[in-house]
Amino acid sequence: MSDLAEQRRRELGAFLRARRERIRPSEVGLPGSPRRRTPGLRREDLAMLAGISATWYTFLEQGRDVRPSRQVLEALARALSLGDTERTHLIAIGASEEELRTATSEVEMLDPEVVRVVGLLEPAPTYVTGETFDALAWNAAAAELFRAALTNDERPNLVRWVFLAADAREVLPDWTEVSQGLLARFRARAGRRSGVAAFAELEDELRRRSPEFDEWWSRYDVGTEGGGIKRVRRVDGQLQHLAYTSFEIADRQGQTMTTYRPLGDGARGPR
């Protein structure tokens, strides 16, 4: 059995355990008890709700060499009341090695027409990120807004910048909220593409160098791309509210274009 398969089994077990411990028995119609030592549901409870053997489920959490079918993963997702993003993550990390053989670690290429669109969107700050959040293209407005995030490295990476660069906390006054959301999206992508070494290498680097990343990683939060409002501190020190939207690029798995639109200084909303 490959090291990758063993790593995926551990990831699956840890994700299941983290989600199981978040559910109170009363939420799924089970009686609680003041003597319960286990946070959330017991393994036996979840196995019963999913219609599988408690022993077999225990093997899953322990990372043993058992191979859940798609039907079993779907049943576990229902029993855990997972949302669409978390369900997709569970199915991805529970996939067999055969299903993952298409995963590669090649350098990402960007369609020249996409690069042209990024330029045409000037003066709206716009950039394109790849699977591991490498910045693949950006316009001058984005470079001015995010400064060192897009200009310090030959191939800058937004996750690395947010968690490791000192100026990220200056540029992003709501750093904790922004970084937690970014980590959740990174985790979801890593689950879908665990055959790509770049994900494991970046995870290892960030867990070694960022105490926050290391602490939050064990929470197993997963997220998806979207939009909202973000506060950014400009070069002149003024705070600016920006509405942003992210679009997945057709036929390019994991490549996302994000564009920003300035709002009035008094704007408020989710970020």
C-beta separation of 69 from 91 below 8 A? no
Domain CATH number, residue 214:
3.30.450.180
140-177, pLDDT tens digit by residue? 899 888 876 776 666 689 999 999 998 899 999 999 99
Q: Which residues have C-beta within 8 Å of that of residue 184, sequence separation ≥ 6?
A: 221, 222, 223
- Same domain (yes/no): 12, 127: no
Average pLDDT, the chain: 83
The answer to whether residue 151 sits within a structural domain is: yes
- On whether the CB atoms of residues 163 and 65 are closer than 8 A, the answer is no
Distance CA 216, CA 270 (A): 21
Last residue of a domain, one of 76, 100, 124: 100
Mean local confidence (pLDDT), 205-225: 92
pLDDT at position 5: 73
Q: Report percent pLDDT > 70 for the chain.
A: 85
DSSP state letters, 9-34? HHHHHHHHHHHHTT--GGGGT----T
Residues 117 and 223 in one domain: yes
Picking from 100, 135, 156, the residue at the C-terminal end of a domain is 100
Final residue before a domain boundary, out of 69, 100, 131: 100
Residues 240 and 136 reside in one and the same domain: yes
Asked if 164 and 209 count as a contact pair (C-beta separation under 8 A), the reply is yes
Percent of the chain residues topping a pLDDT of 90: 31
The verdict on residue 17 lying in a domain is yes
Give per-residue pLDDT as tens, 16-74. Answer: 999 899 888 888 777 766 565 667 888 888 888 888 888 888 988 888 888 888 778 88
Q: Do 146 and 257 lie in a common domain?
A: yes
Determine, yes or no, domain membership for 270.
no
Token pair of 115, please? 């690069």
Domain co-membership, 124 together with 169: yes
Do 10 and 67 lie in one domain? The reply is yes
Alpha carbon 99 to chain centroid distance? 21
CATH of the domain at 69: 1.10.260.40
> Can you give the pTM of this predicted structure?
0.69
Q: What is the pLDDT of residue 67?
A: 81
Residue located via tokens 């200009």: 151
- Domain assignment present for 105: no
**β-strands 227-233, 135-138: how paired?**
unpaired
Distance from C-alpha of 57 to C-alpha of 44, rounded to nearest angstrom: 8
Which uninterrupted H or E stretch holds 263?
none
**Which residues, in sequence order, are bridge partners of residue 233?**
239
Q: Do 37 and 153 reside in the same domain of the chain?
A: no
- pLDDT level of residue 270 (50, 70, 90 thresholds): very low
DSSP 229: E
Whole-angstrom CA distances from 83 to 19, 79, 87, 89, 268 are 11, 11, 6, 10, 27
116 and 18 in one domain?
no
12 and 95 both lie in a single domain? yes
Note the pLDDT of residue 104: 43
Which candidate, 102, 83, 108, 114, places its Cα nearest to that of 248? 114
Place of tokens 């909202």: 228
Task: Quote the pLDDT of residue 109.
Answer: 74
Domain-embedded: residue 106: no
Q: Which two three-digit tokens encode residue 131? A: 């699977």
Instruction: Return d(Cα 87, Cα 52) in angstroms, integer.
Output: 18
Q: Is residue 90 located within the same domain as residue 207?
A: no
For residue 129, being part of any structural domain is answered with yes
Is 246 contained in some domain?
yes
One domain for residues 117 and 250: yes
DSSP-derived 3-state class of residue 81: coil
Residues 6+ apart with CB under 8 A from 194: 4, 7, 8, 11, 92, 93, 100, 103, 200
Q: Are residue 91 and residue 143 in the same domain, yes or no?
A: no
pLDDT at 260 over 50: yes
Contact by Cβ (8 Å): 241, 222: no
Token pair, residue 12, equals 């699956």
pLDDT of residue 78: 87
Helix or strand or coil: residue 135? strand
Q: Is residue 12 part of a domain?
A: yes
Count of structural domains within the chain = 2
Q: What is the pLDDT of residue 1?
A: 45
Q: 21 lies in which domain range?
A: 3-100
